[in-house]
Amino acid sequence: MKNATPLLLLLLVAPMAASAAEIRSTIVDSVQLTVDAPGVQSTRIGSQYTVSGSNVNATTLGGLTIGSATAPPALTDGAYAIGTNNQAFTFSESAIVGDVAVTSQTSLSSGGRVETPNIYGNSMQYQGGTPGSLAGTLSPTGIPTVTAGGSGTSAIGQRTVELTVFN
């Protein structure tokens, strides 16, 4: 019997050591609500004047005056005539009047929008989102819920469940 006791103890302890493990369970709930911001991107354009032609005489060339910080350049008239009568001719005149520098930008309204932006010749305006009924709820017993908002909004509800077993 003395010889069987260590064997009996070994058989009783071995299953206990094999089943000793740590189990960890983690549940993370989250809600992310986003409302897009408004913005204005605006690029000033410069002034240019172009005239070209064939069989055309220029008495006075047209052009642009020099603008100032508060006024754009102005277009000046030119005087042109056909060079040789009864002959083919071509004539082209174009002008782009550039932007005057804006010294201050309108501030955002209470709704977070640019109500009356100062814009240049090449501009893009981004409207901000409207929250509307945008909402999210975390519940200790259930999955997070989200409610859609107005345009320019997003809502993400997420539940992550992690189960880890260590030996």
**DSSP string for 31-56:** EEEEEPPPEEEEE----EEEEEEESE
- pLDDT, residue 10, reads 52
How open is the CA angle 123-125-126, to the nearest 5 degrees?
A: 150
- pLDDT, residue 99, reads 86
- pLDDT, residue 30, reads 92
End-to-end CA distance of the chain: 34
- pLDDT, residue 134, reads 92
- pLDDT, residue 55, reads 93
Asked whether the beta carbons of 45 and 73 are under 8 A apart, the reply is: no
Tokens representing residue 124 in the block = 């893009």
User: What stretches in the chain show pLDDT beneath 50?
Assistant: 17
pTM (2 d.p.):
0.49
Q: CA nearest 130: which of 53, 35, 40, 64?
A: 35
Asked whether the beta carbons of 55 and 82 are under 8 A apart, the reply is: yes
